[in-house]
Amino acid sequence: MIKTVHTEIDDYVRRAYYAFNAGDWLLAAHYYKNAVDLGDASSNNHLEESEKLVIDSVSEHDAEGLFWLAREYHSGLSLRQSYEKAFQYFTLALERGYSEAVFEIADYFRSGFFVEKCVEEYHSLIGPKASLGNLKGLHFMSICLIEGFGIKVDTDAAMKILGTLEDKEYPPAINSLGCCYDYGDTVNQDYSIAYDYFKRAAQMGNANGMKNYGSYLLRGISCSSDVQRACYWLNKAANRGVAEAKRILGEYLVKESDKYIEGFLWLHNAAEQGCMIDKKYLPQEFNAFLVTNEIML
- Tens of pLDDT, residues 174-187: 999 999 999 998 99
Sign, Cα dihedral of 286, 292, 296, 297: positive
Query: What's residue 284's pLDDT?
Result: 53
Confidence label for 208 from pLDDT (cuts 50, 70 and 90) = very high
CA 173 centroid distance within chain: 17
Spatial separation of the C-alpha atoms in residues 262 and 26, rounded to whole Å: 19
Query: What's residue 74's pLDDT?
Result: 92
Residue pLDDT, tens place only, 15-35: 999 999 999 999 999 999 999
**Residue 263, pLDDT above cutoff 60:** yes
Among 38-42, 84-88, 209-213, 218-222, the least confident range: 38-42
Sign, Cα dihedral of 118, 119, 122, 128: negative
Task: Let me know: does 147 contact 107? Beta carbons within 8 Å.
Answer: no
Amino acid at 88: Q
Quick one: what percent of the chain has pLDDT higher than 70? 92
Most confident of the following: 141-150, 200-209, 254-263: 200-209
Residue pLDDT, tens place only, 110-149: 988 889 999 999 999 988 888 777 899 999 999 999 999 8
Confidence label for 275 from pLDDT (cuts 50, 70 and 90) = confident
Query: What's residue 215's pLDDT?
Result: 98
Q: What is the mean pLDDT of residues 2-24?
A: 86
**Residue 289, pLDDT above cutoff 80:** no
Total residue length of the chain: 297
Distant-in-sequence, close-in-space partners of 71: CB < 8 Å, separation ≥ 6: 86, 104, 241
Cα-based distances in Å from 18 to 23, 32, 42: 9, 11, 17
Q: What is the mean pLDDT of residues 46-68?
A: 95
Query: What's residue 254's pLDDT?
Result: 85
Query: What's residue 131's pLDDT?
Result: 77
Task: Let me know: does 62 contact 43? Beta carbons within 8 Å.
Answer: no
Question: Domains of the chain: which residue ranges?
Answer: 118-168, 171-240, 251-297
Query: What's residue 296's pLDDT?
Result: 45
Sign, Cα dihedral of 200, 205, 206, 208: positive
CA 19 centroid distance within chain: 24
Query: What's residue 260's pLDDT?
Result: 80
Among 27-31, 172-176, 216-220, 273-277, the least confident range: 273-277
CATH architecture under which domain 171-240 falls: Alpha Horseshoe (1.25)
Query: What's residue 264's pLDDT?
Result: 86
Mean pLDDT of the chain: 90
- Burial pattern 260-269, b for ≥16 Cβ within 10 A else e, equals bbbbbbbbbb
